[in-house]
Amino acid sequence: MGIIYNLLYTLFFPFYLLLFIFITKKKGYSPELKERFVLYPDNRSRVLWFHCASVGELNLSKPLIKYFTGKHRILITVSSPRGKEYAVKNFPEAIIRTLPFDFPFLIKKFINTYTPEVLIIAEGELWYNLIDVSSKQIPVISINTRISPSSYRIYRKISPFIKNILKKFRLIIARSQTDYELLKSFVHENVVLCGDLKFVSSIGEKNIEFEKKGKILIAGSTHEPEEKILINVFKKLKEKYPELKLLIAPRHLERVPEVIKILEKENIPYSLRTKTKIPETDVYVIDTLGELSAFYRYADVVFVGGSIAPVGGHNILEAILQNKPVIIGKNYEKISDTVNQLLPEGIIKIAKDEKEIKEAVEYFLNISGKDIDFKKISENIFKCYLSNIKKVLGDSL
């Protein structure tokens, strides 16, 4: 299977590389080709290696990175330029590198440069040579491992290949009971269930400069057409709740100009986070990276995006763990286990369209908040992760 993968990867690589460079530069980032081909000198060794594809995985892994910093030298690799930028800013004590392209000789060169003790991969990123080459020299661990329904359907069609990859992990920690069962259908050994690490990583710690005025509706991690829908909802509710404010945080910052066009077309005054910390307008666009979870503490109601748009949903726990009511759309298959776990608590509503979103926002604006103690859940999940990772490392609790 590895031979077929490497033949196909090599065959399509020139086309992928050109497309990758074009798209990356178009977004205003450097393709980091020197790092992706490991064309740099470095002699730091004996590191604990975390691979986090982008910002979401970095935030997910933060509690583990924070715990092991000081006990081990930390190396973090990322796949995306946005992730690299975020990692450099938020993990100053770690070595930050862009993951090499998935050729065996590049992975070997990278491992020889840093001689890691272990590789910890966030959320089941299955680069074949990264896992295959690394597993021959060091233990490889997958944390918060998830398999979406769409991925599972694909994996079933290439079952021998997926089984071959998963068997190379020393330890796979599943995110949910559903993920655990799906993983066990491919590999029987070294799969454990600890729970969603986002119950730990989503607890807000960051303080921001912001002054709350009136009721606040936050539209977080939004995609097209979610901003337009939430702006329409806001306009309608503003008549009944004149003190209502709307904060919009697009999932991808490159879409901020698109959001601004919608607001200007609707003749709605707005402020940008990068321009002012204390907005005087009723609509505030959060055009910064890494602040959304801190803004949730000021919210009265939160809509989490990627759920009306066919994305599958984004992290709802950043808001939920601060006891903020959350509204999502009907496309939430990526977070369905978390949603189903929390629906009975009455802190989540699922809305299929603009009308139902408006009704849900109004419902939450008119009821008193509900305090749920998530501390014990978070502590148990984190202990489970630490104990299993330490067993692989050979550390004692």
Please provide the size of the chain in residues. 397
CA angle 357, 358, 362 (to 5 degrees): 115
Is residue 309 within 8 Å of residue 226, measured between CB atoms? yes
For residue 260, name the pLDDT band (cuts at 50, 70, 90).
Answer: very high
pTM of the model: 0.80
Q: What is the pLDDT of residues 176-187, one digit of tens each?
A: 999 999 999 999
Does the pLDDT of residue 72 top 90, yes or no? yes
For residue 47, name the pLDDT band (cuts at 50, 70, 90).
Answer: very high
278's CB contacts (< 8 A; 6+ apart) are 209, 210, 211
Taking the C-alpha atoms of residue 303 and residue 219, their distance in angstroms, rounded to an integer, is 5
The confidence score (pLDDT) of residue 376 equals 86
For residue 370, name the pLDDT band (cuts at 50, 70, 90).
Answer: low
Does the pLDDT of residue 292 top 70, yes or no? yes
Taking the C-alpha atoms of residue 134 and residue 110, their distance in angstroms, rounded to an integer, is 10
The confidence score (pLDDT) of residue 386 equals 97
The confidence score (pLDDT) of residue 41 equals 87
Eight-class DSSP state of 212 = -
The confidence score (pLDDT) of residue 185 equals 95
Give percent of the chain with pLDDT exceeding 90: 84
Query: Which residue in 57, 123, 227, 318 is the catalytic one?
Result: 57
Give percent of the chain with pLDDT exceeding 70: 98
Instruction: Tell me the CA distances in angstroms from 205 to 24, 199, 306, one per residue in order.
Output: 31, 13, 24
Tokens encoding 184: 């066990």
216-365: CATH class: alpha beta
Angle, helix 2-26 to helix 128-135, in steps of 10 degrees: 120
For residue 163, name the pLDDT band (cuts at 50, 70, 90).
Answer: very high
Mean pLDDT within 381-391: 97
Q: What is the pLDDT of residues 3-19, one digit of tens each?
A: 999 999 999 999 999 99
Does the pLDDT of residue 373 top 80, yes or no? no
Amino acid letter for position 346: G
Listed residue (102, 59, 106, 49) closest to 83, CA to CA = 59
**Residue 150: Cβ within 10 Å count:** 11
Mean pLDDT within 98-120: 97
Lowest pLDDT segment from 57-71, 225-239, 334-348 = 334-348
For residue 287, name the pLDDT band (cuts at 50, 70, 90).
Answer: very high
Instruction: State the alpha helices, DSSP H only, in 241-273.
Output: 256-265
Does the pLDDT of residue 107 top 50, yes or no? yes
Taking the C-alpha atoms of residue 385 and residue 367, their distance in angstroms, rounded to an integer, is 37
Is residue 67 within 8 Å of residue 96, measured between CB atoms? no
Does the pLDDT of residue 395 top 60, yes or no? no
Taking the C-alpha atoms of residue 169 and residue 150, their distance in angstroms, rounded to an integer, is 22
For residue 396, name the pLDDT band (cuts at 50, 70, 90).
Answer: very low
Is residue 312 within 8 Å of residue 306, measured between CB atoms? yes
Helix (H) or strand (E) holding 7: helix 2-26
Listed residue (309, 340, 331) closest to 196, CA to CA = 340
The confidence score (pLDDT) of residue 150 equals 84
71's CB contacts (< 8 A; 6+ apart) are none
Mean pLDDT within 155-159: 94
Cα Rg of the chain (Å, integer):
22
Topology agreement, domain 2-203+380-393 and domain 216-365: yes
Taking the C-alpha atoms of residue 258 and residue 261, their distance in angstroms, rounded to an integer, is 5
Mean pLDDT within 314-342: 93
CATH of 2-203+380-393, one of 3.40.50.11720, 3.40.50.2300, 3.30.70.20, 3.10.580.10: 3.40.50.11720
Kindly tell me the burial class for residue 44, based on how many C-beta atoms sit within 10 Å of its own C-beta (0-12, 13-18, 19 or more).
exposed
Residue 189 designated active-site: no
**Residue 78: Cβ within 10 Å count:** 26
* 228/124: higher pLDDT: 228
Domain boundaries defined on the chain: 2-203+380-393, 216-365
Does the pLDDT of residue 205 top 70, yes or no? no
Does the pLDDT of residue 397 top 50, yes or no? no
The confidence score (pLDDT) of residue 374 equals 83
